[in-house]
Structure 1
Amino acid sequence: MSAEALAVVTAQDGDVVRLELGDVARGPWDAASAHGGAPAALLTRAVEAHAAGTDLRVSSLAFTFLGPVPLGAVEIRTTVRKSGRRLQVVHGELRAGGRTAMEVQATLLRRGRVPLPAGVGMPWPELAPPEGRAAAPAWFVVDGGRAFHPDAVEIRPLGDAPLGEPTPDGAAAWLRLRVPVVGEETPTAAQRAAAAADFGNGLSCPVPMADYVFVNCDLHVALHRDPAGEWIGLRARTELDRAGTGLTTTELHDAAGRFGTATQTLFVEARA
């Protein structure tokens, strides 16, 4: 993994952290803004700080995008809305340029040891493995500069269609972070899942990206167990309506099988 990171910490005061978001986090829609997966991973990191030294784990993450997240200086602050040994609710807010650009509400649950009947809790059917698959080339990079993909994230599609081509029946791929989320820290399982989950709508677009904008307004990630390993598998399907809205539903996998689900509500519009 490269020593370069999505962001570096410039200051921290309790539950408030200031960071500099680098150009390796750039998204596909605007050269000055981040891909949603980058700030999602940063907010996840901030939420996880409240689980340090406890038996709590991130169980769900509900992100709302209130506007573009610009590259450069950002501030994240978190607040515990409900504390407890079994369940904790944490709210996080990412601010930039004097406005709130993104929010998250996270549910953290205790790690227990619950005896289950035989056959219950077994992994779902797995995806074909990423080994031996070719990495996707650069895809929808604005101004030809560096971007979240392929510089920060490697994508290995499982189908034959090139990234960005319409896939009405859905698509699947494996993704892994090429860089740390912050500094030289090793990304956690939840950070890897959050960063990858935001690719669902782009991976399974049923219409050409060159002809349509279909930006997700939110991202909900539910993890019934922690993923293992660097690779996060996505099996996604996107449904669009002529009202200009859509929904992406994504299965999240690791080598053992499915570990969670993500959904994205989409704003859809034809390009002028």
Structure 2
Amino acid sequence: MESCYYVPIDRPDMETPETGPSGVSTDSGHEYFQPTEATQSVWASTMQHGGPPSGLMMRSLLRCDPDPGQRFTRVTTEILGPIGFGVNRIRAQVIRPGRQISLVGTDLEVQQADGSFRLAARSVGWRLRTADTSAIVEEPAPLTPLPAELTPVAGVTGNEDLGVDWGTTGFIGSIESATIAGRTGDTPAVWIRPAIPLVGGEEISDLESIFSVIDIANGMGTRLRTDEWTWMNTDTTVHLTRIPRGPWVGIDADMVQGPEGFGATFGDLYDITGFVGRSAQTVLLSRR
């Protein structure tokens, strides 16, 4: 198993320079990473799973002009095309500054054979100021049993009867999970966390850890068979009601298939202390 999802690297020598009208380079503020085989998708060996890029973009959002008095409350990740294994570069910016509300965005680009970069994914996150509202807390009951009461396994189990061969390589081979009874539909819920760091040489933060695996809700929330259908998501939106704690995230998801070739997956999200928010993903349905 690879030791991390991304290896930080210097700017590639073959990168095509970006210049403005005056011929001056406009490329600044990018970080560069080499994705490892641990990011590989379950849908194709030529592209990354949506989870690690989402975690990498959350890392970028967290490092962009951080404000200790604000917290991320909604993050939307758009997958604009296959996220390949060429050099990945990423850069964030504050789109809407503010003392109470701010909006931060980050772009992830993949290097092509000619040295140029193609925009492959984008995340946008709203940050809101914090305040004490503990007197009015209302939330669903915690998801139980907790990971400490279970025996986590490498990869994911619980979907074997759907024709799913999750395998032990690529992204699925890099995670730990424990499957339990779900609440939102007739599909199981899952406790899940990355078993390796997001970026080599760094300790993964709680938000980075959770955003690296939330994309898997789309795979856990369905009863469709993979040898008959595919259901690829084009986006993931996460609404948080508080900041999650710890590397484990509990996902209780359910996919709704519409009659016109698309649907949506909705998931309730938990950490080991209780409910933390909900996710939603648009799903493209295709018959094999």
TM-score, length of structure 1 as denominator length = 0.87
CA offsets per residue over residues 164-185 of structure 1, 9 Å max, x none?
Answer: xxx9623200001111111222
CA distance in 2: counterparts of 1:21 and 1:3, whole angstroms: 10
Unaligned runs of 5+ in 1: 161-166
Partner in structure 2 of residue 52 of structure 1 = 66
Q: SS of 1:72's equivalent?
A: coil
C-alpha contact 1:64 1:103 (8 A) present in aligned 2: yes
Partner in structure 2 of residue 133 of structure 1 = 151
Unaligned runs of 5+ in 2: 12-26, 158-163
| Structure 1 residue corresponding to 2:180, chosen from 158, 166, 170 | 158
Answering whether residue 253 of structure 2 is matched by residue 236 of structure 1, we say yes
Which stretch of structure 1 is more off in the superposition, 196-205 or 259-268? 196-205
Which stretch of structure 1 is more off in the superposition, 28-37 or 92-101? 92-101
CA distance in 2: counterparts of 1:202 and 1:7, whole angstroms: 23
CA RMSD of superposed structures (Å): 2.4
Partner in structure 2 of residue 104 of structure 1 = 123
- Tell me the CA shift for residue 47 of structure 1: 0.7
Number of equivalences? 259
- Tell me the CA shift for residue 254 of structure 1: 0.8
| Structure 2 residue corresponding to 1:217, chosen from 217, 229, 234 | 234
Partner in structure 2 of residue 202 of structure 1 = 219
The 3 A distance-change label for structure 1 pair 242 and 52 is same
CA offsets per residue over residues 126-173 of structure 1, 9 Å max, x none?
Answer: 11112323426567568x67211122x11211149xxxxxx9623200
The 3 A distance-change label for structure 1 pair 258 and 168 is closer
Partner in structure 1 of residue 9 of structure 2 = 10
Moved over 4 A (4+): 136-142
CA offsets per residue over residues 222-270 of structure 1, 9 Å max, x none?
Answer: 1111111121100001000121101100011011111011100000001
- Tell me the CA shift for residue 57 of structure 1: 2.2
CA distance in 1: counterparts of 2:134 and 2:244, whole angstroms: 20
CA distance in 1: counterparts of 2:92 and 2:236, whole angstroms: 18
Same amino acid, percent of matched pairs: 25
Q: SS of 1:198's equivalent?
A: helix
Which protein is bigger by CA-based radius of gyration?
2
TM-score, length of structure 2 as denominator length = 0.82
Q: SS of 2:257's equivalent?
A: strand
Answering whether residue 160 of structure 2 is matched by residue 146 of structure 1, we say no
- Tell me the CA shift for residue 199 of structure 1: 0.7
CA offsets per residue over residues 177-219 of structure 1, 9 Å max, x none?
Answer: 1111112222222212212210111011121112111000110
Q: SS of 1:266's equivalent?
A: strand
Instruction: Output the amino acid matched with 2:178.
Output: R
